[in-house]
Structure 1
Amino acid sequence: MIIGIPKEIKNNESRVGMTPAGVFELTKYGHNVLIQSTAGDGSGFFDADYLHAGATIVNTIEEVYAASDMIVKVKEPIAREYGLIQKDQVVFTYFHFASSEPLTKAMIESKSVCIAYETVEDDEGTLPLLTPMSEVAGRMAIQQGAKYLEKPVKGRGVLLGGVPGVQPGKVLVLGAGVVGIQAAKMAAGLGAHVTIMDINMKRLRYVNDVMPPHVVTEFSNEYNIRKHIKTHDLIIGGVLLKGAKAPNLITREMLKEMRPGTVIVDVAVDQGGCVETTKPTTHEDPVYIIDDVVHYSVANMPGAVPYTSTVALTNVTLPYVVKLANQGWEKATVNDATLHKGLNIVKGEVVYKEIIEAFGWESAEV
C-alpha cells in the first residue's frame, strides 16, 4: 500500500502524522510511505530522518494525496484539502465531525473512507487514540490558564499556587475523564485548590482515591456549577461525549455570575465546546473576552508542543495504521472491533449515528 503523510496546514499546527520510527515500521512490511517535504520540521523530524527510515519525499501536498491509497495525518482536512481527497481513499486522522457540518458534507461528497482517531473505542469504552492528546491538552490547560490569569492579559491577577500568607487560586474542572484528571493533577502540583465535577460517581471515587486532599470532588449539576463559577479563578472544560457535540454546561448568562478576569479554558472546543460562548481560536490569537471573562479555546492545543505530541500520537496510531495497510480497511475493521468504531463516513454514507444526530439529519446521506 502507498501511505501518504501530508504537511499539516491548519493555523499554527506543527505536528506531523508519523515519526520516522513509524515510517521505518511500515517499510518493514513492504509498504511505500510518501511524506511531503518539511512535513516533520515543526516536530523536530527532518526530511533526512524520513529518507533514512525508508520514506519517499515529495514536494507538494497535491502529490501526496494524488498518489496515496491511505492518508495519515493529525488534524481534520481544511477547505483547501477537500478537493484533494479521492474516491475510495482512506483518510485516518482526527475529524471531530460533530462540530463542523461543512467538513462532514465535504467528506460525504468525496466518497472517501473516513476513520476518525477520536471514535476508535476499545472493549472497556476508552478511546486509545484520543487519550494521549487529551493528556497533553489537560496538562496544557493549566499552563495556559495560569498564564492568562495574569493581569497584563486581562486575568484576575491570581497566582495559582499562592504564596505564604495568601490563599492559592481555585480551579474548577468540569469532567473527570482524561483531560480532567490531567488538569487536576497539574493544578494540584502547582498548589491550587481544585474542585473536579462529573456525573459519573465511579470516576469521582477514583479521583478521590488518587488525588491529594486539596483536590475535592462534587457531583455535576447546574446548581453546583452555578455555585462554583462565582468563586473559582480558572475553569477547565473537559467534557466529552464520544463522537457527539459537547453539552453546554456554562451558558452565556452564567458569565455574569463570574468575577471579572476569570479564565475559561475549554478543551472540549473540538467537539463544539462545553461553554455556550466558546468559539475556536488559534495559537496565533488564542483568547477573547466576553463579559470580562477570558476565554481560551485553541482547537489544537497539543500543536504547541509538537515533538511530545507527535511521538505520543504515533505510539498509539501506528499499530492501527499497520493493520489498515496490511489488511486493507475493510478486512481490518471487520477483524478489529476497536478500529471498526473509528469508521465515521464510508463512501458517501455516514455510519456513525452521533454525527447524524449532531446536525439533526434524518438520513445518513446528504
Structure 2
Amino acid sequence: MIIGVPKEIKNNENRVAVTPAGINEFKRQGHTVYVQKQAGIGSGFSDEAYTAAGAEILPTIEAVYAQSEMIIKVKEPIESEYPLIKEGQLIFTYFHFASSRALTMAMIERKAICLAYETVERADRSLPLLIPMSEVAGRMAVQEGAKYLEKPMGGCGILLGGVAGVKPANVLVLGGGIVGTQAAKMAAGLGAHVTIVDISLARLRHLEEVMPANVDTIISNEYNIKELIKDSHLIIGGVLIPGAKAPSLITRDMLKLMRPGTVLVDVAIDQGGCFETSHATTHADPTYVIDEVVHYCVANMPGAVPYTSTLALTNSSLPYALQLANKGWRRACQENAELKKGLNMIHGQVVFKGVAEAWNLQYTPLEGLV
C-alpha cells in the first residue's frame, strides 16, 4: 500500500502520525511511505531520520495526498485539506466528528473512508487509541490549570498544593475515566484536595481503593456538582461518550456560583466540551473569561508536548495501521472488530450512530458495507 504522512497544520500541532521506527516497519512489510518535508521536526524527528528508515520525502502536503492510498494523521483535516482528499481514500486519524458539522459534511462530500482513532474500541469497551492521549491530556490539565490559577494569568491566585499553615486548592474532576484518573493523580501529587465525580459507583469504588487520602469520590448528579463548584478553584472536565457529543455538566448559570478566578479546563472540548460556555481555543490563545471564570479549552492539548505525545500515540496506533496497510481497510475491519468500530464514514455514508445523531444525519448500518 502507498501510505502518506502529511505535516500537521492545526495551530501549534507539533505531533506526527508515524515515527521513523514506524516507517521502518512499513517498509519491512513491503509498503511505500511518503512523508511531507519536516513533518516530524516538531517531535524531534528529522527528514534524514525518515529517509534512513526508508521513507521518501515529498515537498508539499498536496503531493502527499495526491500519491497516497492511506493518509495517517494525528488531528482531523482542516478546511484547507478538504479539497486534497480523494474519493475512496482511507484517512486514519482523530476525527471527533460530533464536535464539527463542517468537518462532517466535508468528509461526506469527499466520500473518503474515515477511520477514527477515538472510536476504535476493544471488547472491554476501552479505547486503545484514545487512552494514550487521554493520559497526556489528563496530566496536562492539572499543569495548565495550576498555571492559570496564578493571578497574572487571570486566576484567583492560589497555589495548588498550598504551604504549611495554608490550605491547598480544591480541585474538582468531572469523570473518573482515563482523563479524570490521571488528572486526579497529578493534582493529588501536588498536594491539592481533589474530588472526583462519576455516575458509576463501581468506578468510584475502584478509585477509592487506588487514590491517595487527599482524593474524595462523590456520585455525579446536578445537585452535587452545584454544591462542589462553589468551593472549587480548579475544575477539570473529562467526560466522554465515545464518538458522540460530550454532555454539558456545567451550565452558564452555574458560573455565578463559582469564586471569581476559578479555572475551568475542558479536556472534552474535542467532543464539543462538557461546559456549556466552552468553545475551542488554541495554544496561541488558550483562555477566555466569562463571568470572572477562566476557561481553558485547547482542542489539541497534547500537541504542546509532542515528543511524549507522538511516542505514546504511535506505540498504540502502529499495529492497527500495519493491519490496514497489509490487508486493506475492508478485510482488516472484517477480521478485527476493534478496527471495525473505528469506521465513521464509508464513501459518503455515515456508519457511526453517534455522529449521525449529533448532526441529525442519516445513519447507515455497517452490515453489508464491510
Q: TM-score, normalised by structure 1?
A: 0.99
1:297-336 to structure 2, matched below 5 A, reads 297-336=297-336
Amino acid at match of 1:178: I
Contact persistence 2:350–2:362 (CA under 8 A): no
Q: In the alignment, what sits opposite 2:368?
A: none
| Partner SS, residue 124 of structure 2 | coil
Q: In the alignment, what sits opposite 1:174?
A: 174
Distance 1:363 1:125, change over 3 A: closer
Q: Deviations over 1:95-126 (max 9, x none)?
A: 00000011001001111100000000000000
CA distance in 2, matches of 1:82, 1:31: 25
CA distance in 2, matches of 1:362, 1:312: 35
Q: In the alignment, what sits opposite 2:129?
A: 129
Q: Give the number of equivalent residue pairs.
A: 365
Q: In the alignment, what sits opposite 1:203?
A: 203
Q: Following TM superposition, by how much is the alpha carbon of 1:359 offset from its aligned partner in structure 2, in angstroms?
A: 1.2
CA distance in 1, matches of 2:5, 2:24: 13
| Partner SS, residue 223 of structure 1 | helix
User: 1:22 aligned to 2:22?
Assistant: yes
| Partner SS, residue 83 of structure 1 | helix
1:89-128 to structure 2, matched below 5 A, reads 89-128=89-128
CA distance in 2, matches of 1:200, 1:107: 35
Q: In the alignment, what sits opposite 1:262?
A: 262
Q: In the alignment, what sits opposite 1:35?
A: 35
Structure 1: which 5+ runs fail to align?
A: none
Counting aligned pairs with the same residue, the percent is: 65
Q: Deviations over 1:321-345 (max 9, x none)?
A: 0000000000000000000000000
Q: Aligned-pair RMSD on alpha carbons?
A: 0.8
Q: Deviations over 1:275-319 (max 9, x none)?
A: 000000000000000000000000000000000000111100000
Q: Following TM superposition, by how much is the alpha carbon of 1:202 offset from its aligned partner in structure 2, in angstroms?
A: 1.2
Q: In the alignment, what sits opposite 2:160?
A: 160
| Partner SS, residue 92 of structure 2 | strand
Q: Following TM superposition, by how much is the alpha carbon of 1:361 offset from its aligned partner in structure 2, in angstroms?
A: 2.7
Amino acid at match of 1:174: L
Amino acid at match of 1:88: G
Structure 2: which 5+ runs fail to align?
A: 366-370
Q: In the alignment, what sits opposite 2:193?
A: 193
CA distance in 1, matches of 2:307, 2:64: 22
Q: In the alignment, what sits opposite 1:274?
A: 274
CA distance in 2, matches of 1:108, 1:282: 26
Q: Following TM superposition, by how much is the alpha carbon of 1:362 offset from its aligned partner in structure 2, in angstroms?
A: 4.5
Q: In the alignment, what sits opposite 1:221?
A: 221
Amino acid at match of 1:280: A
1:275-290 to structure 2, matched below 5 A, reads 275-290=275-290
| Partner SS, residue 84 of structure 2 | coil
CA distance in 2, matches of 1:348, 1:233: 45
Structure 1 segments, 4+ long, off by >2 Å, are: 360-365
CA distance in 1, matches of 2:317, 2:361: 31
Q: TM-score, normalised by structure 2?
A: 0.98
CA distance in 2, matches of 1:151, 1:289: 13
CA distance in 1, matches of 2:354, 2:212: 37
